[in-house]
Structure 1
């Protein structure tokens, strides 16, 4: 289990790779796009530099962490000799099912297959493999190197042995694993996304402006970040995807995405990653400056 693979070099994938590598694991970071791998490694290096500056790690520890990560665009080669694969691709059910079908064929029979999905059914993903007992959810929080929580989601067939292994493994990463069952949105997003959606509805209905809504939640409810700013950091497209999964799963109108959210995603205003969402991040790399507060 000291050898792991991470599928996807985006925000969550490179954060997961960083976390494993910093804890002494040998990591294969896999993405079909070479540019994504390059950007992912640049992000890991920048985040490690900040940790060195803040004296959280030494320069030698930074170098060791980087050396623990190997990048590849070859999925078959990347997962050949690993005990665990953590999939962190785009939150799209068809894509995830395709990936897990391939992983099931390419990986050793004893390899545990985990997904970082924030809402998609673990049971559904496991059903496309011949090892449903070895499929589990590991839902890390963003930014991964900083946030302590990992939601551990058991599918219908996930074994006790695999659950215990992943719980213990998460603790070795310095995380606090919390076991939950496989229902749409799990715990974190089942509670968080309706709050974000209601905040967007509040804006949509003209009750208050963006900054006013966020100020109320920060100062009145002691949230470190307002829900609209948080939505920008998560990605409005990701928020919409999660709400759609929950709406489809529960058939309850309280999970129906606000029309304003739908239109913003259609317009390409996705939050930090597009430079604009509820806030504008395009001026003087404002997004990066804000993000640096958390690393």
Structure 2
């Protein structure tokens, strides 16, 4: 049973881990090479408990008890009585290895050594220790008291009993443990790659500007757009993680970083912390869409909707009828009709050629993420821009915000979310973690509107697969190749959360 918890490192992460551990009733020893920093951290934690007591979130008895449980020690030897040591120091492999070698000489053989690393291999950290079977990963997220998910990472030589004890410890702190194999990025940092890397690819292709991409992804259900998120995290944090996962997976195309982020990092455009990133601060980014001021007073052009997808055709027909906009219901569009195509993973230009349409009067609509209040309309290089602006203005009269973008495979939301689901499927294929833990970790750790596997099921796994295959065929970019996990479950009509049955001898 774990009774005495040591925390090495009194920065933001160490301070948070010490706080929740003492609150849970564990005896906590806090150590930092800078004893003054450790003392200040303890004072900050006690102040936080006082504030919680004032707000009624912590009783006077529990506040006093927590304070009595937290003690600063000024030497590593002071950690000798520990049952668990959690390292929360600089993200440097050599420095962590040195610390673990020193701890080897201080603590008992029954003491568990855990690293809070977010990007380094737990197996590599454990390799130089005397007892690598007692070393595991225990990855908390910042701010620790508020972020309720903790990744419990099984190194190659970690004893399963150690993992069991760590799971119980995490639960006793009021947090939720998710189990992961020792792989690059573990669960959350791995699963979150596609959201930002695909957005950067879209920006690189000049499909839409930063604010429009963020608006579209907010409309799809995300609390922050990808560029807002990078500004909040800071490119000095997010870009090195992108590069580390890409390199650790030996240049796997799904995780390819962007030169846009690398260049902005070199320029010091880090985000909120530097006062300027993809947006300027301290002002709040204006993500309200622009509405054209002068267009024809009333829409009078007939709208012809492609029948390539019957579900999409029915959805848009009902929507435009509701907006009192005339429909061209003929098999082929009339000479003056606005032609609307509804591609999944393809661009508008491809649809124009395949269906023999007038490119000047053709746009695409993303029906995968369309609603009565938000719609992405994609132009092709020949589209009449005035016509597109007129459509945008008219729909705004019906409280529908239209996001205009340039021709692209998969629009914006389609390609980002299909990529997110695909990465999650491949993580499941690699058995990085269970499908259920993957979804839980992403919802708790990244605040996504749903777990990627559940989301794939809701959107339709077969449709996600269609988007990926069409993007792969159109671009030849292997970043879009579908995961075998996705392909097989679509073939068999299974949920993406469905694990394979264990083989029995």
Task: Say if 1:275 and 1:215 are closer, same or farther in 2 by CA, change over 3 A.
Answer: same
Task: Say if 1:258 and 1:84 are closer, same or farther in 2 by CA, change over 3 A.
Answer: same
Q: Who wins on radius of gyration, i.e. which is larger?
A: 2
CA-to-aligned-CA distance 1:239-287 (integer Å, 9 cap, x gap): 233223212211114324322333344444545555654455668xxxx
2 CA distance for matches of 1:72 and 1:280?
43
Task: Say if 1:69 and 1:129 are closer, same or farther in 2 by CA, change over 3 A.
Answer: same
**Mapped pair 1:244 → 2:243:** yes
Q: What secondary structure sits across from 1:56 in the alignment?
A: coil
CA-to-aligned-CA distance 1:78-125 (integer Å, 9 cap, x gap): x22101011111222222222222222222221100111112111111
Aligned to 1:24: 25
Map 1:137-286 onto structure 2 (within 5 A).
137-203=137-203, 206-221=206-221, 223-251=222-250, 252-271=252-271, 277-278=277-278
Q: Is the 8 A contact 1:193 1:239 kept in 2?
A: no
Q: What secondary structure sits across from 2:245 in the alignment?
A: helix
Aligned to 1:80: 80
Aligned to 2:104: 104
Q: What secondary structure sits across from 2:105 in the alignment?
A: helix
Task: Say if 1:103 and 1:263 are closer, same or farther in 2 by CA, change over 3 A.
Answer: farther
Q: What secondary structure sits across from 2:220 in the alignment?
A: helix
TM-align CA RMSD? 2.8
Task: Say if 1:35 and 1:231 are closer, same or farther in 2 by CA, change over 3 A.
Answer: farther
Unaligned 5+ residue runs, structure 1? 284-295
Would you identify which runs of 4 or more consecutive aligned residues in structure 1 move more than 6 Å? Answer: none
Q: What secondary structure sits across from 1:106 in the alignment?
A: coil
Task: Say if 1:174 and 1:256 are closer, same or farther in 2 by CA, change over 3 A.
Answer: same
**Mapped pair 1:2 → 2:40:** no
Unaligned 5+ residue runs, structure 2? 284-505
Q: What secondary structure sits across from 1:29 in the alignment?
A: strand
Matched residues, number = 282
Map 1:125-140 onto structure 2 (within 5 A).
125-140=125-140
Comparing 160-169 with 212-221, greater Cα deviation is found at 212-221
Q: Is the 8 A contact 1:21 1:68 kept in 2?
A: yes
1 CA distance for matches of 2:39 and 2:267?
28
1 CA distance for matches of 2:99 and 2:183?
21
1 CA distance for matches of 2:215 and 2:40?
33
TM-score (norm 2): 0.50
Q: Is the 8 A contact 1:91 1:238 kept in 2?
A: no
1 CA distance for matches of 2:100 and 2:247?
22
Q: What secondary structure sits across from 1:128 in the alignment?
A: coil
CA-to-aligned-CA distance 1:12-49 (integer Å, 9 cap, x gap): 11111111011111212222234543553454345435
Aligned to 2:49: 48
CA positional deviation for 1:233 = 4.4
Comparing 30-39 with 172-181, greater Cα deviation is found at 30-39
CA positional deviation for 1:62 = 3.1
Q: What secondary structure sits across from 1:147 in the alignment?
A: coil
2 CA distance for matches of 1:278 and 1:114?
36
Q: What secondary structure sits across from 1:145 in the alignment?
A: coil
Task: Say if 1:191 and 1:84 are closer, same or farther in 2 by CA, change over 3 A.
Answer: same
Q: What secondary structure sits across from 1:216 in the alignment?
A: helix
Task: Say if 1:147 and 1:216 are closer, same or farther in 2 by CA, change over 3 A.
Answer: same
TM-score (norm 1): 0.82
